[in-house]
Amino acid sequence: MSVCSTVDPCLCPLCGQANRCAMEAPAHEQAQAACWCTREQFSAALLRQIPDAAKGKACICQTCVQKAAQAT
């Protein structure tokens, strides 16, 4: 399986679904308000799952954050 060289900041790097990050949405789609992710806790274990190519470039989606929280 090849790794895509371009990271889409609007897709979750773990599951590939839309991450709904308000900070990455184009300004014409919605106001640049604080994103849901600013109110979430991201465990170190969850953050280690992000592929190196996507670190600092794409947000994890809320579904993946919630699944990780339930697993602990």
Average pLDDT, stretch 14-23? 90
Tell me what pLDDT residue 4 has.
45
Give the model confidence (pLDDT) of 24-64 as tens digits.
Answer: 665 545 556 678 888 888 999 999 999 999 998 899 999 99
Write down the H helix ranges in 1-72.
44-48, 62-71
Confidence (pLDDT) at 32? 61
pLDDT at 39: 86
DSSP string across the chain: -PPPSS--TTB-TTT-SB---TTTS-TTTS--PPPGGGGS---HHHHHTS-GGGTTTSPPPHHHHHHHHHH-
Q: Is the pLDDT of residue 10 over 70?
A: yes
The CB density around residue 36, as the number of other CB atoms within 10 Å, is 15
Task: Break the chain into its structural domains and give their ranges.
Answer: 8-72
